[in-house]
Chains A and B, each alone.
Chain A
Amino acid sequence: MNSTPAPISESASPSLHAARLRSLQSLGIFCGFAAGAWLGGAEAPIKLVNPDISPITISLIMVCGVFLARWSVPAFIRGTSHVGADLRQAPHLVLWAVLAGCMWAVANTLTIYAIRNVGLSIAFPLWNTNSLLGIFWGVVLFKELQFAGWKKWLGVLGGAVCMFAGATLLAVASSHQAAPGKAALGIAAALGAGILWGTMYIPYRKAYLTGMNPLSFITFFTVGELVTMISLAVSYRGISPLLHEVVNARAVLFWLMLGGFVWVLGDLFQQYATKYVGISRGIPLSNTNQLWGLLWGILVFHELQGGTRTVYSQVISGSLLMAAGAVAIALSSATEREHSSWRSAADREGQRYGIEDEYVRAGMEGRAFGGPQRSRTALDWFLIIGTTGLFGLLASAARLPHMDITLSWAAALSAAMLALLVAGGLALWRTTRFR
């Protein structure tokens, strides 16, 4: 990928320099692929958990891990004082971030009902429509793909449809569902989750067009996520049964919270992808997480073992379709003309909410804004050390269940994910200093 360091301190230019635009587009596309790997890898620790625990409790414990990660990772990368600086510039985005977090929690809970009622093979393709809805909102509300030309349109839309078809085949192949009951409710739940996730990208795009840093956005996003998830868990389970279940699950708390932590790293890449290539490209690319989930399932957990020839042909065709779709989207990056229409959408945001023009432009171009770099505070160290300590404590109480796992494949996939993390982190640092 092209991660040529750009002149970070350059002042705002009326038109984004072509080389800088290419650099940011490549960065966004790379982040989309890295997001797929980490979001898919987040499923692995959860597979180690006893299925007797209720799905709502599993979701809640994961979200606790997510909450810790969403505060400690920004504290580690840039320090939370940057969050305050962003908040002062664009306070209205706090509301959008919390709203998006609430949407995520409701969508995630709906998927539990969808899987329970209609099985993964029907539910997954339905909620995977989120990327098509994301493209729709990107085009209608944020002028994405405007002046893109028919080839780019074909690349993005055709790629997303290809990925949708591939995802459907993979879901059918990997499902082990029983006869579905309450089908209508299950389908409604899956479609509802897809609509919620697809619409959740409106706040994402809004924040990044306005110039907010993804590391700031996620800290407010997670407040909505945690509050909604606690409310849902308490109202569904009751406080006492919920606490009892969490205490009984102490041996697997580490795996669930680790799943949440890994998921956050994937989501962070997804946020940067959304920022630099928009929702119409970033979201379908990060939906390659299904391929990574499948790799973990087949290679590490021996899923699909003894499957029929039909199942294996579905897996191969589905994977090829998804990969082809992702490549088509990756090759359809925004032109300078399309980017100029993004800028006009950004100007609309700036004018509407009275945001400083230079802040909006600097955010879009991944440049510095304002005074000198702020150093880490005591709060940052507290978050970093506290989260590390808590994870260490939970790890000491964790037990690896007796499962047939191929550790060599687990190590190989983890190494591939770490390589993507390091490469993505370096590219983000060199190109934008994590802006």
Chain B
Amino acid sequence: MPSDRFRTMFRAIATDIHFWIPFSVLIGGLFLLDKLR
């Protein structure tokens, strides 16, 4: 089932530290950009 495959994929992404490190850095960058405006 494709939906099962995507659910598994998103679960794997959500528990992958490799995703959260760049994502947190991106949020930090956007926050900093907002301060600089």
Contact = CB atoms under 8 A, between A and B. Distances in A.
Interface of A: 91-92, 95-96, 99-100, 102-103, 106-107, 109-110, 113, 137, 141, 185, 188-189, 192, 195-196, 199-200, 202-203, 206, 232, 236, 352-354
19 contacts: A91-B6, A96-B22, A103-B29, A106-B26, A106-B30, A106-B33, A110-B29, A110-B36, A141-B18, A185-B35, A188-B32, A188-B35, A192-B28, A192-B32, A199-B25, A200-B22, A203-B22, A232-B33, A354-B12
Interface string B3-28: 00110110011001111011101101
Given A95-B13, A99-B23, A99-B26, A354 B8 contact: yes
Majority SS at the chain A contact face = helix
Contacts of B6: 91
Contact of B22 (A103, A109, A352): A103
Contacts of A203: 22
A73 to B, nearest CB: 25
Q: Which 3 A-B pairs have the closest CB atoms?
A: A106-B29, A199-B25, A113-B36
Most buried by A among B9, B29, B30: B29
Interface residues of B, number: 23
Nearest to B30: A106
B9 A102 contact: no
Nearest to A182: B36
Contact of A92 (B9, B26, B29): B9
Nearest to A191: B32
A247 B5 CA distance: 46
Given A195-B25, A236-B37, A354-B8, 8 more contacts: A91-B6, A137-B21, A141-B18, A141-B21, A195-B29, A202-B21, A353-B9, A354-B9
A202 B36 CA distance: 26
B25 A196 contact: yes
Given A92-B9, A95-B13, A199 B21 contact: yes
Contacts of B32: 110, 188-189, 192
Contact of B26 (A91, A103, A352): A103
A141 B18 CA distance: 8
A141 B21 CA distance: 11
A141 B35 CA distance: 31
A352 B14 CA distance: 12
B36 to A, nearest CB: 5
A283 to B, nearest CB: 15
A141 B20 CA distance: 13
Given A92-B9, A189-B32, A196 B26 contact: yes
B29 A107 contact: yes
Contacts of A109: 33
B32 to A, nearest CB: 5
Contact of A91 (B9, B17, B18): B9
Nearest to A133: B25
